[in-house]
Amino acid sequence: MEPIKRIEEGLKELYDSNVGKVERQPDVDIYDLGENIVLYVDMPGIRKESIKVRVYDRAIEVIASPATPEGAGKPLRRERISNFPVSRKIEVPFRLRVESAKAVYKDGVLQIVVGKAGEYGVAELKID
């Protein structure tokens, strides 16, 4: 067996034996719409009921648990994101209006819309 093939097989075995223990981070696109931001999170194959979204004052966290396929036998290869716990915390450069947050899951994409409460940083104040 050539060395590269042995490495690939070893990595596959390691990967398969750690399914359920390794978290995956979904891909995310973020758009600034002025008053709001919109996040698109790729989560194909994830059940809507297993997704949890938490909105903090300066971050958004997405967590999902893997679903076990019915009648699943011994896996030969497991690569789909839905086989792994999913976790991603996205920090943004401004405060968020937590109460305005909304999430919709459709066609394997989670859309999160959150209002911006303003940028944070340093402000110089005029003294009255």
Tell me the per-residue pLDDT of 13-38, one tens digit each, with 9 for 90 and over: 776 666 556 778 899 999 999 999 99
**Residue entry with tokens 């719409």:** 33
Per-residue pLDDT averaged across 43-63, rounded?
A: 91
Tell me the per-residue pLDDT of 65-95, one tens digit each, with 9 for 90 and over: 887 666 667 777 777 777 788 899 999 988 9
Assess contact for 43 and 66: CB atoms under 8 A.
no
Task: Give the CA distances from residue 44 to residues 38, 50, 60, in Å, rounded to whole numbers and listed in that order.
Answer: 18, 12, 19
Structural domains present in the chain: 23-69+79-119 (2.60.40.790)
Tell me the per-residue pLDDT of 33-51, one tens digit each, with 9 for 90 and over: 999 999 999 998 888 999 9
Q: Going edge to edge, which strands form the sheet with 94-106? A: 28-32, 36-42, 109-119, 94-106
